Structure 1
């Protein structure tokens, strides 16, 4: 902890921060709400491996010879996709609940819904009811979907601007902590529990219960978001909570300055909307040009990240490894578990050394480039050699070496995803929207459906590689670098014309409090856009 604290505070731009801001209460909040990221990864890892376990496959007739190939594929898809469908509803529900009952109580509510769904899902083992599996997973998805809104929103609101990327990266990294545990649990179950026992698939899925208990208990010692308290009019309580999270006195200049920023931003938003009703907020969400740009960023981040194939690879990883020649259920599950470990370690490195150091944009560009190259190799391999899991397919020595390279490329695609899209799909909405619209913006973004494509031919991988290449160009042109900026000062970037936000926005706008810097930039560039914006910024104060 001491080493990490020294490392973070020694970075350029962080010297002005009081050492107290990195304290136990802040770390506790980041750990508890970051731990919620494991929920989504846990389910994706468990369902992807559970459906390959012989006990589950036999009980729910995933390979029933009386069903044709399309019927078998539909049955598998219905089981695996139910949580994703439920998550769409859950992420939209999270907007109302997170803003109505607060970030802390929203955690407890989502855990209850999540556990009701898991109870129904596991109870299906008693009678083999496919309907109970589907219904239980859909209900669980409503709770799981809320975690992707509640967690990043809370983390973005409590973290100092200099460490906001790190805080949200913890959530993103924990996705792969859950995935890795799920993979290893299924692998261990396949090794040590008989294929004839239902415990082979039930025991790994009890991880849902363990994680739910830890998250629910952790919420009772969490500190409610000061920004939400200001939003609902509890300003005095907000000041007390912010002082606790920063480990400073309420009258400390750092705390009073941050409280002033929060209050000023909320006043500006209230003045702009003139109402706090839902229709007024919905209008504010889509009518002003800055908010339309934010909406474009959050939705396109979700679409491009999901269409790049990451979730598909996470859920269907054992089948991918089968396609490129990894033999045996245990061998495929072990290869899948290693993939989870690779993604987790990359996410940790990215959180500590990339997002708040080299910046969001550079991290994304580097990660997406790696992912595109890796996916293209796998696509070419499958196109040239064919799928090794088809009957009668045998690999020559040279093809086996190429297949080893394909395995490495799947791992490398995980490295690219973890360094690129993974964190930004959560961070984009959490740090770009104004306080009034933050929960709504995150809800809409996370409600974008994920694209799960059948893994039957190399065209799937070519599609993923092509989307990654398109995403690379989109990030370069449209995504602004918001490293180190306060949530309140981020608004200034989106007041600029749309065609300069992604390429020059961060250079034109430093921080709302630093008017002299903005004026110097305006004078040096002689740029009418910058000069006009400088006047706007000063006018807000």
Structure 2
């Protein structure tokens, strides 16, 4: 049933929920873009660090050539992965910060940490310890972005386009990657490889984005759901009416506020104690909440070890492994790879997550990724010398297969952007009740960065020949292929569809026994929705009859 106003035509959603057209306004999109920009934190770092490290000037500064081959591999892996180590702490810190000072102030303090870390990294003066320290501190800020931004975006977005709004964050991840890749390419071509500007200029993108996000935070409104949690009802109504572009007494605003209040009140009544201990108990001792934690944690493990994130981080090295040998050509091919992933993220946000649903989009992306990993693994099995024998030159008759493998890296990036990389943030942000949302999201993102650190730290060593303690490039890609296939099977049986649901109605997806939720949870929830709607209509009819009688009397 429509709630005021005309039903807007919207091709970007799975269900028409009868929302008034006024809620799709510039204030909403301005807020979505302002917080979505935080996605660039990870994208910029993933796109910059490999090329920055490969700069001859940077390597001279840290005296890289004085180390053995294995030590060089470990140093490169440590520098690349140090942001992930810091991000583990940042994701944990985000739970406390988000719930204590709110989503807006959490944004401001993470920007300060982010800028401070990059300043230490750029001013290392050849000290490898300062390089590590700077990237760790930056990680404390970057690690909070994946908690703060998706939570805020999910909490202010209308149900019908929540997937689109939250996936803007993912889109900016890839915008950051594209800008980083092209900054590397431009500086390589125009500045050469023997000046510190060749890696410092691209690295300044971190400071530019962090500063922009910090400034924009002063133009945004606090999450109404956070304000209700803090008992600030008047501020919550004012914030929601502004972002919905409706008056505070509009029926749609009133109903949304009542729904948020009711859900929060039910959570408070069912609480297992006040304070942090009560929230922890509620997270792990309520079966439906525990299943949601299981979904969020498994999504992080399976997505990070599917290999696509590591391919983004070490794209320049992997394209070289598959036959792209020229320095400038390698950076250009890598930059185009970033564009492919950005386009995939945009398609996912606009036409998939709210149109065909989260689960179908995720399975489609996993399928593309699995096919790609199997092809690359097969190519490296057919040409086992690639990346193992330093003097090996690819025969001309295998050039086509090499180009096919490079194309498959593009397709894997496309699938990653459509699937895991969008859903690992979206599902985590929208699954949980308000009271435990910050804690559960922080736990999921802590595991996200722990696994991202593990994979990014392990991949350089995994790619080494078996004689040097690795599993070879061939073994690495077969490993990625197997994990990707396992992930697809797990999604099919375990993940319910969440598209088109309000945050307050997510509980209905988890009413069935755990082993039925993935396959039948959505159908059961829709039946419960129908029963509830019928009860609401009866109550409204009865209320109307009572008012009519009172007027007659």
Q: Shared fold by TM > 0.5?
A: yes
Work out whether residues 322 and 388 of structure 1, in 8 Å CA contact, stay in contact via their aligned partners in 2. Answer: no
State the match for 1:474 in structure 2.
490
State the match for 2:478 in structure 1.
462
Q: Secondary structure at the match of 1:510?
A: helix
State the match for 2:276 in structure 1.
278
Q: Which one of the candidate residues 142, 145, 148 is aligned to 1:147?
A: 145
C-alpha distance in structure 1 between counterparts of 2:99 and 2:524, whole Å: 33
2:484 counterpart of 1:484: no
Work out whether residues 322 and 332 of structure 1, in 8 Å CA contact, stay in contact via their aligned partners in 2. Answer: yes
Q: Which one of the candidate residues 17, 22, 31 is aligned to 2:19?
A: 17
Change (3 A) 1:233 1:147: same
Structure 2 matches for 1:352-391, cutoff 5 A?
352-389=350-387, 390-391=389-390
State the match for 1:100 in structure 2.
100
Structure 2 matches for 1:227-306, cutoff 5 A?
227-273=225-271, 275-306=273-304
C-alpha distance in structure 2 between counterparts of 1:312 and 1:434, whole Å: 32
2:46 counterpart of 1:44: yes
| Per-residue CA distance 1:236-275 (angstroms, 9 max, x = gap) | 1101111111111111111111111100111111111153
- Taking structure 2 as the reference length, the TM-score comes to 0.90
C-alpha distance in structure 1 between counterparts of 2:510 and 2:133, whole Å: 42
Q: Which one of the candidate residues 189, 192, 204 is aligned to 1:191?
A: 189
C-alpha distance in structure 2 between counterparts of 1:513 and 1:467, whole Å: 36
2:116 counterpart of 1:116: yes
Structure 2 matches for 1:403-442, cutoff 5 A?
403-442=402-441
State the match for 1:395 in structure 2.
394
Q: Secondary structure at the match of 1:8?
A: coil
Work out whether residues 12 and 350 of structure 2, in 8 Å CA contact, stay in contact via their aligned partners in 1. Answer: no
Change (3 A) 1:184 1:6: farther
Work out whether residues 9 and 19 of structure 1, in 8 Å CA contact, stay in contact via their aligned partners in 2. Answer: no
| Per-residue CA distance 1:69-111 (angstroms, 9 max, x = gap) | 2111111111111000000000000000011000001000000
TM superposition shift of 1:56: 1.7
C-alpha distance in structure 2 between counterparts of 1:184 and 1:468, whole Å: 29
TM superposition shift of 1:379: 1.0
Q: Secondary structure at the match of 1:273?
A: coil
Q: Secondary structure at the match of 2:355?
A: coil
TM superposition shift of 1:516: 5.2
2:170 counterpart of 1:172: yes
Change (3 A) 1:11 1:134: closer
Change (3 A) 1:226 1:443: same
Q: Secondary structure at the match of 1:476?
A: helix
- Taking structure 1 as the reference length, the TM-score comes to 0.92
State the match for 1:508 in structure 2.
524
| Per-residue CA distance 1:366-414 (angstroms, 9 max, x = gap) | 1101100101111111121135454221111221111000110000000
Q: Secondary structure at the match of 1:34?
A: helix
Q: Which of 203-212 and 267-276 deviates more?
A: 267-276
C-alpha distance in structure 2 between counterparts of 1:518 and 1:472, whole Å: 37
Work out whether residues 89 and 145 of structure 1, in 8 Å CA contact, stay in contact via their aligned partners in 2. Answer: yes
2:32 counterpart of 1:34: no
Work out whether residues 272 and 282 of structure 2, in 8 Å CA contact, stay in contact via their aligned partners in 1. Answer: no
Change (3 A) 1:260 1:142: same
Change (3 A) 1:137 1:379: same
C-alpha distance in structure 1 between counterparts of 2:352 and 2:332, whole Å: 29
State the match for 2:311 in structure 1.
313
Work out whether residues 297 and 444 of structure 2, in 8 Å CA contact, stay in contact via their aligned partners in 1. Answer: yes
Work out whether residues 317 and 336 of structure 1, in 8 Å CA contact, stay in contact via their aligned partners in 2. Answer: yes
| Per-residue CA distance 1:310-355 (angstroms, 9 max, x = gap) | 2211110011001111012211111111110000001001100000
Work out whether residues 324 and 387 of structure 1, in 8 Å CA contact, stay in contact via their aligned partners in 2. Answer: no
State the match for 1:79 in structure 2.
79
State the match for 2:220 in structure 1.
222
Q: Secondary structure at the match of 2:247?
A: coil
C-alpha distance in structure 2 between counterparts of 1:297 and 1:14, whole Å: 27
TM superposition shift of 1:517: 6.3
TM superposition shift of 1:52: 2.0
C-alpha distance in structure 1 between counterparts of 2:443 and 2:100, whole Å: 17
State the match for 1:527 in structure 2.
none
State the match for 1:522 in structure 2.
none
Work out whether residues 9 and 17 of structure 1, in 8 Å CA contact, stay in contact via their aligned partners in 2. Answer: no
Q: Secondary structure at the match of 1:251?
A: coil
Structure 2 matches for 1:119-130, cutoff 5 A?
119-124=119-124, 127-130=125-128
Q: For structure 2, which runs of at least 5 residues remain unmatched after alignment? A: 1-6, 465-471, 536-553
State the match for 2:67 in structure 1.
67
TM superposition shift of 1:495: 2.6
| Per-residue CA distance 1:478-506 (angstroms, 9 max, x = gap) | 00001100000011212321112110111
Work out whether residues 103 and 150 of structure 1, in 8 Å CA contact, stay in contact via their aligned partners in 2. Answer: yes
Work out whether residues 323 and 387 of structure 1, in 8 Å CA contact, stay in contact via their aligned partners in 2. Answer: no
C-alpha distance in structure 2 between counterparts of 1:211 and 1:368, whole Å: 31
| Per-residue CA distance 1:421-454 (angstroms, 9 max, x = gap) | 0111101111000001111111000111122222
Change (3 A) 1:271 1:71: same
TM superposition shift of 1:513: 5.8
C-alpha distance in structure 2 between counterparts of 1:239 and 1:269, whole Å: 20
